[in-house]
């Protein structure tokens, strides 16, 4: 006999109605004005409760159905902090795989270091969870592609936590207006987008550079360092490798480019209408040779798309000095600056009456309606690929040709080794 599968929300709603017929139950279980029934709550688990992860841990209020049902961390102090913030109704885990076995969790928020992002997101999707991931989407291009394919195969919702596609970054306001301007032809083609200090962006290159003088230290009793490393190679413990400063090491992240890259480049991909493709040429200016372990400095990264569109990243922290003010987006007919000034003036007024691009659906709406969010897994994989391409150009020290369809470098075996990197056993895609 065929059995119809019902959702957790439907089960809770039906059960509450049955119980209410025979017993007096708390008002919040039944819902109504001023009360949210459990069937309407999007429950969450937060994996990684360090600095960024704590922003995902919502406190479970008194008299309300709990929302944060589980937190997970391999550092006992971080785990304790997560449990304290969430409060009643939340359980703690040191192994994310045990957490994913629970059937009452709707969404998983992943705020671990990036070398864990794709693996946990893939496991969450396979367990029937929707996923909100911290940036970058993945540490490698190959991981990102498998993640996007898994989300699609299991019919899950995925979004990376950048937000700026939906609004703007710093002074850039609504990104859909920039998309309309770029699409209008008023700036001409091909377009050049500049993402650097001169156009209002801070890459934090020095802040997230790694150290090359690390001496082995004892692992703190509160930290499961082997599990923290997970798929990454085993290297002696030093506190600068973990927690807030992990971004400075290639095994776990990619410096300021990986920290800020998707924040900046995800909306730029959207504005330039490049969500389904990528550049075909990438070239970087950076000190040579790069350190094999510690992320270092870089000056500029230039990316060129097949239609001639250019994306120029400038750190302003190494190499030739950058102009104090540069246009954010420029074409042969006009320029847009960070303060919304256009040259010639009045370009936004000319595009205000044009049709808006398709609406962008946020994560919570996507979870409730089963529509794909505005920054879905395929889209975020493409914007994260820009970050990884930039770092690979820095690490190889030469101009690279990229096939955005096959997602492989053309005629460059060494560069392609960075696309798919081995993981430490037993972890694998």
If one compares 18 and 275, the residue with the highest pLDDT of the two is 275
The per-residue pLDDT for range 85-135, each reduced to its tens digit, is 999 999 999 999 999 999 999 999 999 999 999 999 999 999 999 999 999
Per DSSP, 314 falls in state E
Number of residues assigned to the chain: 429
pLDDT at 174: 60
Per DSSP, 294 falls in state B
Kind and range of the H or E run holding 264: helix 255-271
Q: Tell me the pLDDT of the chain averaged across its residues.
A: 91
Output phi, psi for 101, to 5 deg: -75, -15
Percent of the chain with pLDDT over 70: 89
- 329 Rama sector, left if φ>0, alpha if ψ -120 to 50, beta otherwise: beta
Kind and range of the H or E run holding 110: strand 107-110
The per-residue pLDDT for range 322-371, each reduced to its tens digit, is 888 999 999 999 999 988 899 999 999 999 999 988 888 999 999 999 99
Strands in 161-250 per DSSP E: 192-196
Radius of gyration from C-alpha coordinates of the chain: 23
pLDDT beyond 60 at 168: no
DSSP calls for 20-86: HTTS---HHHH-BTTB--GGG---EEEE--STTGGGG-----TTS--SEEEEE-SBHHHHHHHHHHH
**Could you tell me the pLDDT band of residue 27, with boundaries at 50, 70 and 90?**
very low
The per-residue pLDDT for range 30-45, each reduced to its tens digit, is 444 544 566 789 999 9
pLDDT at 165: 83
pTM, 2 dp? 0.90
pLDDT beyond 50 at 298: yes
pLDDT at 29: 45
If one compares 207 and 20, the residue with the highest pLDDT of the two is 207
**Could you tell me the pLDDT band of residue 262, with boundaries at 50, 70 and 90?**
very high
Q: How far apart are CA 392 and CA 414, in angstroms?
A: 10
Q: How far apart are CA 40 and CA 195, in angstroms?
A: 41
List own/partner pairs for 362-368 with CB under 8 A and 24 or more apart.
362/159, 362/166, 363/130, 363/132, 363/157, 363/159, 364/42, 366/130, 366/157, 366/159, 367/42, 367/106, 367/107, 367/130, 367/157, 368/42
Q: How far apart are CA 107 and CA 33, in angstroms?
A: 25
Sequence-ordered list of residues with C-beta below 8 angstroms from that of 33, at least 6 positions apart, any chain: none
196 C-beta neighbours (distance < 10 Å), count = 23
Mean pLDDT of 39-63: 95
In the chain the domains, ranked by start, together with CATH numbers, are: 8-160 (3.40.50.720), 170-417 (3.30.360.10)
CA distances from 123 to 108, 253, 367 (A): 10, 20, 18
pLDDT at 166: 77
The per-residue pLDDT for range 11-21, each reduced to its tens digit, is 445 544 444 43
The per-residue pLDDT for range 316-326, each reduced to its tens digit, is 999 988 888 99
Paired tokens of 176 = 């859909």
pLDDT at 338: 83
């Amino acid at each position: 006999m065929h059995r119809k599968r019902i959702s957790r929300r439907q089960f809770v709603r039906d059960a509450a109605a049955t119980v209410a017929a025979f017993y007096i139950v708390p008002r919040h279980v039944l819902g109504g004005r001023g009360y949210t029934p459990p069937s309407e709550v999007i429950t969450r688990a937060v994996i990684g409760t360090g600095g960024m992860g704590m922003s995902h841990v919502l406190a479970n209020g008194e008299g309300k159905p709990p929302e944060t049902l589980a937190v997970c961390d391999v550092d006992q102090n971080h785990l304790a902090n997560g449990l304290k913030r969430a409060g009643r109704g939340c359980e703690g885990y040191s192994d994310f795989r045990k957490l994913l076995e629970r059937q009452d969790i709707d969404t998983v928020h992943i705020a671990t270091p990036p070398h864990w992002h794709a693996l946990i997101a893939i496991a969450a999707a396979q367990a029937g969870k929707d996923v909100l991931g911290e940036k970058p989407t993945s540490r490698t291009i190959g991981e990102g592609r498998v993640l996007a394919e898994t989300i699609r195969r299991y019919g899950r919702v995925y979004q990376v936590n950048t937000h700026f596609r939906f609004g703007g970054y710093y002074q850039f306001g609504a990104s859909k207006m920039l998309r309309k301007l770029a699409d209008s032809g008023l700036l001409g083609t091909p377009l050049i987008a500049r993402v650097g200090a001169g156009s209002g962006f801070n890459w934090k290159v020095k802040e997230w550079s790694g150290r090359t003088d690390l001496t082995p230290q004892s692992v703190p009793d509160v930290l499961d360092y082997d599990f923290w490393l997970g798929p990454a190679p085993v290297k002696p413990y030093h506190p600068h490798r973990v927690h807030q400063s992990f971004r400075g090491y290639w095994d776990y992240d990619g410096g300021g480019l990986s920290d800020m890259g998707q924040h900046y480049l995800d909306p730029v991909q959207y504005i330039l209408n490049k969500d389904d493709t990528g550049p075909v040429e990438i070239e970087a200016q950076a000190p040579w040779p790069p350190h094999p372990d510690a992320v270092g400095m870089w000056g500029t990264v230039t990316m060129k798309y097949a239609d001639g569109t250019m994306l120029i990243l400038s750190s302003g922290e190494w190499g030739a000095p950058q102009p104090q003010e540069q246009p954010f987006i420029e074409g042969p007919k006009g320029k847009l600056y960070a303060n919304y000034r256009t040259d010639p003036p009045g370009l936004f007024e000319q595009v205000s009456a044009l049709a808006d691009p398709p609406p962008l659906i946020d994560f919570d709406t996507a979870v409730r309606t089963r529509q794909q969010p505005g920054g879905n897994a395929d889209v975020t994989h493409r914007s994260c690929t820009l970050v990884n391409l930039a770092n690979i150009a820095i690490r190889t020290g030469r101009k690279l040709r990229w096939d955005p369809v096959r997602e492989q470098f053309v005629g460059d075996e060494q560069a392609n080794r960075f696309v798919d990197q081995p993981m430490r056993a037993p972890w694998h895609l």
